[in-house]
């Protein structure tokens, strides 16, 4: 039976610029239909494309971050397949401007990681090859009105700059594809070249899926189009792999077709047959000269202003700290666990929050990480808030942790204070402690009396401790903490109970 599985991805990333790829039309989400359209976007006669330099810089930056070779000379092409095979109203000109013969970046590598193990604490690193990164136009949007049996066209998105990243078929399941796209999303966001908001269509994935028996060539592939969720990507690929295996095991044939993922049913469904659509037709774009970028200022020809040129080395020098390097630095610098570094990096702004807390407290990083990933992040997830929307600032959390570290409150009381801080940004930790009388009870006589009452009322536990079962002492400590509402000094309580149960 088919055992080998293979999948390549085509990722369309919307370039983070204020204007479109070839026109000065603004880029915006959910604007009124056809309100962000220039004459060129509408393909009116006599209009010509003017290349957006920022889009070129974004493509070069992304290529460098993914270890690609940058082509100092690349070309634009017209994809005229739309004229031959189907009239696509979303491309008013009847063709798409893209890069086919020689794209701007080629031969890259994306390293991503999978968390495995019962506690998700084993990191497995894998690589996927990047075949190319090309610049191209986005299409307009078709809006189908079933009531009036008509299709309306919104050209706001037409001409928006895209980077298409073509990944080689190096992944074998949905989990790997999802991890690779998530890592790519983090890289693009760190670079600032794409905001990566999949719900707004800023990152869309086409998955090419095929199965084959070990040692045999790749089988017939299907393409699952326009997946806009990492979770759905994993499910769509895994379903399609199993569907193809089932078809072959029944003696059937897998057809080369385009399919869509139905999130409600969890299945892929046919869209159109690709057997007759393989004759893709490209021609050089006559209205655009070759796209030339330069290595550095020294390579600029005489008479070219450096401010108007795209300089590869200058972009390379300004690359930010990328997610993989950031995770390694966090582990090495602070001694935190690798899985914690993934949690920090995966949440926008959480690394900065964590490091800001560390600067303002003497508490060990391994203890601070628990507060940030469990208490803070848990609260934010529950309330569907981002890190930037947190009512608890890094300095406020640092103050609370410092009070705990100095022995003014117990760990359980500190969690009570934190919960109160999430409800009111105006109250400091010290104010809440004083207001609710949550300070640590360290009065020796008072704790002696409470511990004596607990010991007297639990003779069986005392007998067990005296018989050598020291773990039972924790139960007595819990009872003391319950009576003091978590305010008792745990070190002092343990000492007193050990004395009284000898």
Q: Please tell me whether residue 197 adopts helix, strand or coil conformation.
A: coil
Phi and psi torsions of 262, nearest 5° = -95, 105
Give CA 278 to chain center in angstroms: 33
The answer as to whether 396 is a domain residue is yes
Instruction: Give the pLDDT band of residue 50 (cuts 50, 70, 90).
Output: very high
The answer as to whether 431 is a domain residue is yes
69 and 49 in a common domain = yes
Q: pLDDT value at position 88? A: 53
Instruction: Give the pLDDT band of residue 21 (cuts 50, 70, 90).
Output: very high
Query: What pTM does this model have?
Result: 0.87
Last residue of a domain, one of 204, 227, 244: 204
Per-residue pLDDT at 485 exceeds 80: no
Q: pLDDT value at position 443? A: 74
Work out how many domains the chain is built from and give that number. Answer: 3
234-289, pLDDT tens digit by residue? 999 999 999 999 999 999 999 999 999 999 999 999 986 655 445 567 899 999 99
The answer as to whether 231 is a domain residue is no
Q: pLDDT value at position 85? A: 45
485 and 365 in a common domain = no
Last residue of a domain, one of 171, 188, 204: 204
Lowest mean pLDDT among 33-37, 143-147, 288-292: 143-147
Instruction: Give the pLDDT band of residue 502 (cuts 50, 70, 90).
Output: confident
343 and 390 in a common domain = yes
The answer as to whether 465 is a domain residue is yes
367 and 399 in a common domain = yes
372 and 458 in a common domain = no
Q: pLDDT value at position 84? A: 46
Instruction: Give the pLDDT band of residue 86 (cuts 50, 70, 90).
Output: very low
The mean pLDDT of 305-319, rounded to a whole number, is 95
Q: pLDDT value at position 440? A: 77
Q: E strands along 122-221, which residues? A: 122-137, 141-145, 150-154, 161-167, 203-212
Q: Give the pairing of strands 96-98 and 73-74.
A: unpaired
Interhelix angle 174-191/53-65, rounded to 10 degrees, is: 130
Q: pLDDT value at position 336? A: 94
Last residue of a domain, one of 204, 224, 249: 204
What's the rounded Cα separation, in Å, for the pair 66 and 257?
30
DSSP summary character for residue 192? T
CB 184 within 8 A of CB 205: no
Per-residue pLDDT at 177 exceeds 60: yes
The mean pLDDT of 12-19, rounded to a whole number, is 98
Cα distances (Å, whole numbers) of residue 87 to 68, 82, 90, 95, 174: 35, 6, 9, 9, 33
Q: Quote the tokens at residue 107.
A: 């031969």
Lowest mean pLDDT among 329-338, 347-356, 399-408: 399-408
Q: pLDDT value at position 141? A: 87
Which residues does residue 9 pair with via DSSP β-bridges, in sequence order? 207
Give CA 461 to chain center in angstroms: 50
The answer as to whether 7 is a domain residue is no
Q: Quote the tokens at residue 418.
A: 């934190």
The mean pLDDT of 56-84, rounded to a whole number, is 91
Per-residue pLDDT at 196 exceeds 70: yes
Q: pLDDT value at position 2? A: 59
Highest mean pLDDT among 115-129, 139-153, 311-325, 465-479: 311-325
484 and 393 in a common domain = no
> In degrees to the nearest 10, what's the CA dihedral of 395, 399, 400, 405?
130
The answer as to whether 267 is a domain residue is no
Highest mean pLDDT among 110-124, 331-345, 460-474, 484-498: 331-345
Q: pLDDT value at position 292? A: 97
Q: Please tell me whether residue 399 adopts helix, strand or coil conformation.
A: helix
389 and 494 in a common domain = no
Q: pLDDT value at position 6? A: 64
171 and 117 in a common domain = yes
The answer as to whether 250 is a domain residue is no
463-476, pLDDT tens digit by residue? 998 888 888 899 99
337 and 451 in a common domain = no
Q: What is the CATH number of the domain that holds 481?
A: 1.10.10
Per-residue pLDDT at 218 exceeds 90: no
69 and 167 in a common domain = yes
What is the chain's mean pLDDT, rounded? Answer: 90
Instruction: Give the pLDDT band of residue 5 (cuts 50, 70, 90).
Output: low
The DSSP line for 393-453 is -HHHHHHHHHHHHTTSS-HHHHHHHHHHHHH-TT--HHHHHHHTT-S-B--HHHHHHHHHH
274, with CB counted inside 10 A (0-12, 13-18, 19+), is middle
Q: pLDDT value at position 151? A: 82
473 and 367 in a common domain = no
The answer as to whether 233 is a domain residue is no
Q: pLDDT value at position 406? A: 86
* Residue-range definition of the domain harbouring residue 479: 444-500
109 and 54 in a common domain = yes
């Amino acid at each position: 039976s088919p055992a080998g599985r293979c999948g390549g991805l085509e990722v369309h990333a919307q370039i983070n610029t204020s204007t479109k790829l070839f026109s000065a039309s603004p880029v915006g989400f959910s604007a009124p239909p056809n309100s962000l359209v220039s004459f060129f976007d509408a393909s009116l006669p006599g209009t010509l494309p003017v290349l957006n330099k920022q889009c070129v810089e974004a493509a070069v930056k992304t290529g460098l971050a993914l270890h690609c070779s940058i082509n100092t000379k690349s070309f634009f092409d017209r994809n005229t397949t739309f004229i031959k095979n189907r009239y696509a109203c979303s491309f008013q000109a009847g063709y798409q401007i893209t890069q086919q013969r020689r794209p701007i970046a080629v031969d890259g590598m994306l390293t991503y990681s999978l968390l495995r193990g019962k506690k998700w604490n084993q990191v497995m690193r894998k690589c996927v090859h990047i075949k190319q990164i090309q610049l191209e136009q986005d299409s307009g949007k078709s809006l189908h009105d079933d009531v009036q049996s008509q299709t309306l066209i919104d050209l706001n998105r037409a001409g928006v700059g895209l980077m298409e990243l073509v990944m080689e078929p190096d992944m074998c399941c949905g989990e790997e594809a999802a991890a690779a796209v998530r890592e790519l999303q983090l890289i693009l966001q760190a670079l600032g070249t794409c905001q990566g908001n999949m719900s707004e269509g800023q990152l869309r994935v086409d998955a090419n899926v095929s199965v084959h028996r070990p040692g045999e060539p790749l089988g017939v592939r299907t393409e699952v189009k326009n997946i806009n969720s990492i979770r759905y990507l994993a499910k769509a690929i895994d379903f399609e792999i199993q569907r193809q295996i089932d078809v072959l095991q029944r003696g059937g044939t897998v057809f080369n077709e385009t399919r869509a993922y139905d999130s409600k049913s969890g299945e892929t469904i046919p869209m159109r047959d690709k057997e007759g659509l393989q004759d893709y037709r490209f021609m050089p774009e006559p209205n655009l000269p070759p796209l030339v970028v330069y290595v550095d200022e020294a390579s600029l020809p005489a008479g070219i202003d450096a401010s108007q040129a795209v300089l590869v080395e200058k972009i390379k020098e300004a690359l930010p700290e990328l997610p993989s390097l950031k995770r390694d630095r966090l582990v090495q610098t602070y001694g935190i666990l690798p899985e914690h570094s993934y949690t920090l990096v995966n949440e926008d702004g959480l690394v900065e929050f964590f490091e800001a807390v560390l600067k303002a407290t003497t508490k060990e990083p391994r203890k601070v990480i628990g507060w940030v990933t469990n208490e803070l992040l848990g609260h934010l997830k529950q309330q569907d808030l981002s890190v930037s929307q947190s009512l608890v600032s890094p300095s406020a959390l640092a103050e609370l942790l410092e009070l705990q570290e100095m022995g003014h409150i117990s760990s359980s009381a500190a969690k009570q204070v934190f919960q109160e801080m999430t409800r009111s940004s105006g109250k400091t930790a010290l104010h809440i402690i004083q207001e609710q009388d949550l300070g640590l009870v360290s009065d020796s006589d008072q704790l002696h009396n409470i511990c004596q009452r607990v010991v007297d009322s639990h003779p069986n536990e005392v007998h067990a401790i005296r018989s050598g079962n020291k773990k039972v002492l924790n139960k007595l400590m819990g009872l003391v903490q319950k009576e003091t509402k978590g305010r008792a000094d745990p070190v002092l309580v343990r000492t007193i109970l050990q004395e009284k149960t000898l």
